[in-house]
Amino acid sequence: MNRVSTLLLLIVIAAGAAIGFAFYYQHRAQAQLSAQLYQLDQLLAADNEGADRKNDGAVKGIEAAVVKNQNQPKEVSILTAAQNLNSRADSLTQTLRGLAAALRHSKGSNAAANPTLAQLGKTGEAEKLLGPTSAAHQGLQQQLTEYISAIQVLNPAAKTELSEPQFAGLSLVAALASLSQLESEVRAVELNTLQCLTPKVGAKTLRSHLVALYSAESSTVAPGQTYRAQLFLGSVLDLRYVPMQMRCNGQPVSVDSSSVGRVRFRASGKPGPSAWTGTIRFNANGRDTTFQVRVPYRVARR
């Protein structure tokens, strides 16, 4: 061998070693990134479970409000829309989780419960199962399109952003992460829409304000005697915006701006215990409601 060949050989060996190191570093980086992505994926999957329950709860909340408000037809249709949206999101979730399970159990990966780093980094399976031309990909795509249009009917103002499912060339862990990401986005969009529907159902609750009140045993006392009264806080419901009437023994009573009626009548001339009846009748959400209270008092002797 001459000197040129020796030199060349040395260069080749040096370059080979460098390439080897490059491969080693790249492999190590890949392993670390895959492990990290897998951990994030597991956390997001747990969050997705929580979002599933949370959204079920939001639908149940709408249902409870509609039932409590006596199933008004307009509200029942909102409830039906919410339930339909929830079941659409549920079936999308099933599809996405089914695809994830199929990926994990496919012959090439076979990475059921605790996949190894090698299995997670493997490419090819995702493309085979979920490539752009596969039936699974097209089914998913169609389901997502339908989902987005269902959302836009209910909430036209919402900007529905779901990521485009792309599985070509992805490693197993990247494909699994894409599926979890989609599920998370689907649930976020669902919750957003349910939160838009919630204020549209249910009886409007009456606002109330607090007032300090007192009630004396008698407003007249003799010198040297004890005056007795009670002081307390009352919560007065605001009836300014609903049709209402207050009566005292059948006679209308004037009501001031703070929704408190002023009862004033001449007491009977006969000493002894007596009573009057107060009635508050109001109409909230199309229903007539009447509250009555019987108030005893005493007419003193002369």
Q: Does the protein bind other proteins through residue 159 (CB under 8 A)?
A: no
Axis crossing angle, helix 172-197 with helix 135-154, rounded to the nearest 10 = 20
100-137 burial: b if 16+ Cβ within 10 Å, else e: beebbebeebebeeebeeebbbbeebbbebbeeeeebb
What is the pattern of x (binds other proteins, CB under 8 A) and - over residues 54-83? ------------------------------
Indicate the residue among 32 and 141 with the shorter CB distance to other proteins.
32
Residue choice 84, 138, 249, 292 for contact with other proteins (CB under 8 A) = 292
Both tokens assigned to 171: 């490693």
Both tokens assigned to 205: 């609750």
Indicate the residue among 37 and 154 with the shorter CB distance to other proteins.
37
Q: Does the protein bind other proteins through residue 268 (CB under 8 A)?
A: yes
Least distance from C-beta 19 to other proteins, angstroms?
5
3-class SS of residue 147: helix
- Would you tell me how many other CB atoms lie within 10 Å of the CB of residue 45? 17
Amino acid at 133: T
Q: Does the protein bind other proteins through residue 15 (CB under 8 A)?
A: yes
Residue choice 227, 241, 283, 285 for contact with other proteins (CB under 8 A) = 227
Q: Does the protein bind other proteins through residue 120 (CB under 8 A)?
A: yes
Q: Does the protein bind other proteins through residue 153 (CB under 8 A)?
A: no
Both tokens assigned to 168: 């070509």
Amino acid at 170: L
What is the pattern of x (binds other proteins, CB under 8 A) and - over residues 169-198? xxx-xx--xx-xx--xx--x----------
